[in-house]
Amino acid sequence: MSDKRDYYEVLGIAKGASQDEIKKAYRRQARKFHPDVSSEAGAEAKFKEVNEAYEILADEQKRSMYDRFGHAGVSSSSGGFGGGGFDFGGGFRDPFEIFEEVFGGFGGFGQRGGRQSRRPRRGADLRYELTLEFEEAVCGIEKEIEVPRQETCPTCSGNRAEPGTTPIRCPECNGTGEVRRQSGFFINISTCHRCQGQGEIITSPCKACQGQGNIVNTRRLSVKIPGGVDHSTQIRLSGEGESGVYGGPPGNLYVVIKVKPHTYFRRSDDTIHLELAINVTQAALGDEVEVPTLDGNELMTIPAGTQTGNTIRLRGKGVPRLRRDGTTSSRGDQVVTIQVRTPTNLTKDQREMLLELGKTLDREVIPQREKSFFDRIRDAFGV
């Protein structure tokens, strides 16, 4: 009488289980006892037992024989199963083959090598950081950049061999790109170290690219920067990345904008902010002053009685509004925030005049009401 456990018991299912239930049970148990992930004692033997149970129950003919005659029905010499053990030359299959059949290569349990695919592959994308002056980012500019990138070798057209020569089949893996080594119960499959999975050896490497199939070339490009770009804006140049592999399309080049800070302008979206210091006379009596804008100096009127923190809005003097398609529309505004400067280092005459002025002014100290959240919002936006 066989000392093996019942296959249904091994998978933890009922005898009348469907094929879908059998597969789900196998997934669960194989994950649990796979030697690459399990730390349980005897995991390898249990994994072998789980695979053996699935090998029988997943096959309708074998399952029928097992249901009628038990282990004897699937272990006879006429059945070719070698007494229930795993014979990789016939009968039971390598448990890793069963595992991959069910899981579809899921989970990376034991890396399996193989010939590297020679299908066309898209080239890598490149990133280039371009630093702009504040005015260049706001107003737009055209810049020339130099980008080093990998390109297909023009001498060998990317096949790595010297023109007129032919690669030979790799003798280590016989052209398969993988090497199989049996270690006890398992078969380890790894990428061939000699041909790096290509399945062929280059006996006469291309002199131009040293057998790499590509060369580094510095490409000069003209990039049109639209007005309104900001820090971290990305501009995509299609097809200007690295060359594809085996005839695949090239990647893209992403130009990432970095903007230098300005001496006195500050940007917030499409609004330009400027702080302007004026003296007490200008604040009290009002004045007309020239203020810098992106378009040059602009004449601005300061109303009489202006206080520190008051703002004056110059319409249409801000940043162009950049659309998603790279075009621009109307411009934002420039907001000028007033700072009333208290005079210092007064002359004797100035001091006497201020003293006389002070005698005519209200000297009562009046506490100011704390501004509400909405008051601060209105001040910030000049409304």
Q: Where are the domains of the chain?
A: 7-108, 122-162+214-261, 266-381
Q: What is the mean pLDDT of the chain?
A: 81
Let me know if domain 7-108 sits in CATH 3.20.20.80: no
| CA 94/CA 97 separation, integer angstroms | 5
Give the pLDDT band of residue 112 (cuts 50, 70, 90): very low
Q: Which one has a higher pLDDT value, 160 or 143?
A: 143
Res 352: pLDDT: 85
CA–CA distance, 293 with 135 (Å, rounded to integer): 10
| Per-residue confidence (pLDDT) for residue 340, from 0 to 100 | 92
Cα–Cα distance measured from residue 376 to residue 274, given in angstroms and rounded to the nearest whole number: 18
Taking only the tens place, the pLDDT of each residue in 138-156 is: 989 999 999 999 888 888 8
Q: What are the tens digits of pLDDT across the range 309-331?
A: 999 999 999 998 888 776 777 88
Comparing 289 with 374, the larger pLDDT belongs to 289
The proportion of the chain whose per-residue pLDDT surpasses 70, expressed as a percent, equals 79
pLDDT band at residue 292 under the 50/70/90 scheme: very high
* Percent of the chain's residues with pLDDT above 90: 30
For residues 81 and 23, the model is more confident at 23
pLDDT at residue 85, rounded to an integer: 36
3-state secondary structure of 18: coil
Q: How far is CA 49 from CA 5, 11, 14, in A?
A: 9, 9, 17
CB 243 within 8 A of CB 123: yes
Query: Residue 77 pLDDT more than 80?
Result: no
* Per-residue model confidence (pLDDT) at position 378: 61
Topology adopted by domain 122-162+214-261: HSP40/DNAj peptide-binding domain (2.60.260)
pLDDT of residue 141: 92
Region 7-11: what's the mean pLDDT? 91
pLDDT at 291 over 90: yes
Residue 161: which pLDDT band, with cuts at 50, 70 and 90?
Answer: confident
Mean pLDDT of 105-134: 69
- The beta strands (E) that lie in the chain are given as 126-132, 141-152, 168-169, 178-183, 186-191, 200-201, 214-225, 234-237, 253-259, 266-268, 271-279, 287-293, 296-302, 311-314, 320-322, 328-331, 334-341
Task: Give the mean pLDDT of 243-268.
Answer: 90
Position 75 confidence tier, pLDDT thresholds 50, 70, 90: low
Beta strand 253-259 with 320-322 is unpaired
Confidence of residue 107 (pLDDT cuts 50, 70, 90): very low
Q: How far is CA 353 from CA 347, 348, 349, 365, in A?
A: 10, 9, 6, 22
> Among 188-202, 211-225, 288-302, 366-380, where is mean pLDDT lowest?
366-380
For residues 42 and 259, the model is more confident at: 259
**Greater pLDDT, 285 or 247:** 285
As a whole number of angstroms, the distance between CA 255 and CA 137 comes to 13
Residue 329: its pLDDT value, please? 78
Q: Is the pLDDT of residue 36 over 50?
A: yes
Decide whether 122-162+214-261 matches 266-381 in CATH topology.
yes
CA 129 to chain centroid: 16
Each residue's pLDDT tens digit, 173-211: 888 888 887 665 567 778 888 887 788 888 888 888 888
Residue 109 has pLDDT above 60, yes or no: no
Question: By mean pLDDT, which of 69-73, 295-299, 349-353 is the weakest?
Answer: 69-73
Average pLDDT, integer, range 271-291: 92
pLDDT in tens, 83-94: 333 333 344 555
Task: State the pLDDT at residue 100.
Answer: 53
Average confidence (pLDDT) over 368-376: 62
| pTM over cut 0.85 | no
Considering the domain delimited by 266-381, tell me its CATH architecture: Sandwich (2.60)
